Amino acid sequence: MSLRTVAGAVFRREMQLFARRKSDWANPIVFFLIVCSLFPFAVGSESEKLKLIGIGVIFVGALLSAMLSLPRLFDDDARDGSLELMLASSEPLAVLILARITALSLGLGAALTIAAPVFALFYALPFAVAGMLALSVAMAVPTLLLIGAIAAALLVSARGGAILTAVLVLPLTIPTLIFGAGAALKVFYGEPPAAELALQGAFLLLALALCPLAAAAALKISTD
């Protein structure tokens, strides 16, 4: 049995669960919608002001709602014992974790990427900016999930894990936030966003290289 088969099985199961439990992606989207629609009530409805804050609000909203699904990465499996199947597998745990994060990134990432430009139109942002927001959300969600996997692994089935996960993960997403929202702002001001996108991509690649290994180590520590 090759690594590819095992990683494929992990990926497929995650996708099956995603399709089976609609609340996994419906809840983050509804949360995202509510966050985005609360801000205009608070700051007033002047469209120039809304346009400026809209980019930031949508980006932060997307990150927060992606974070909501972090506990489900390992907690359910720890409760029903299927986490042990993964831990006891002879294939490298980091690769299996990466397979899960990839599946979650595709599912949740796609949902948030579709939602973000729609919500951008609520804020009367131009189409070009909405498109750039979609692109930078598409890059930011996997980064957040990769970083978050470490926290989720450390806090697997810990009490108050959700809040602690937020406390651990959100500071680490600041670079992604700066460059992701920055890229959309650049487009808003009519400047080329290449530098921001490149840096955001670099963070994604860095997370891709390091986080699965760290999450695997964390998971082994917390379940031993």
Partner 1 sequence: MGRIQGARRIVSLCANLRLEALAAERGGKAVFADVNVDVAAGTLLRVIGPNGAGKTTLLRILAGLGAASAGSARWCGADAVEYRASEAAIFAGHASAMNDALTVAENLSYAAALAGFDSSSSDVRRAMSQLGVEKLINRRFGSLSQGQRKRASLARLLLRTQPGERAWLLDEPFVALDTDTQAQLASLISQELAAGAIVVLTSHQSVTINALKIQELTL
Residues that bind partner 1 (CB under 8 A): 1, 5-6, 8-10, 12-13, 16-17, 20-21, 76-77, 79-82, 84-91, 96, 223-224
Nearer to partner 1 (CB atom), residue 45 or residue 90: 90
- Name the minimum Å distance from CB 41 to partner 1: 36
- What is the Cα 125 distance to its own chain's centre? 23
- Name the minimum Å distance from CB 97 to partner 1: 13
Nearer to partner 1 (CB atom), residue 52 or residue 75: 75
> How is residue 220 written in tokens?
């082994």
- Name the minimum Å distance from CB 164 to partner 1: 20
Would you state the torsion angle of the CA atoms of residues 90, 96, 97, 98, taken in this order, to the nearest 10 degrees? 140
Nearer to partner 1 (CB atom), residue 140 or residue 156: 156
HEC string of 47-113 equals HHHHHHHHHHHHHHHHHHHHHHCCHHHCHHHHHHCCHHHHHCCCCCHHHHHHHHHHHHHHHHHHHHH
Angle between the 3-20 and 93-122 helix axes, to the nearest 10 degrees?
Answer: 40
> How is residue 15 written in tokens?
């996708």
Residue 63 and residue 73: Cα distance in Å, rounded?
16
Nearer to partner 1 (CB atom), residue 68 or residue 178: 68
- Name the minimum Å distance from CB 182 to partner 1: 39
- Name the minimum Å distance from CB 138 to partner 1: 27
> How is residue 103 written in tokens?
């599946």
Nearer to partner 1 (CB atom), residue 9 or residue 33: 9
Nearer to partner 1 (CB atom), residue 48 or residue 80: 80
DSSP string, 118-160: HHHHHTT--HHHHHHHHHHHHHHHHHHHHHHHHHHHHTTT-TT
- Name the minimum Å distance from CB 161 to partner 1: 18
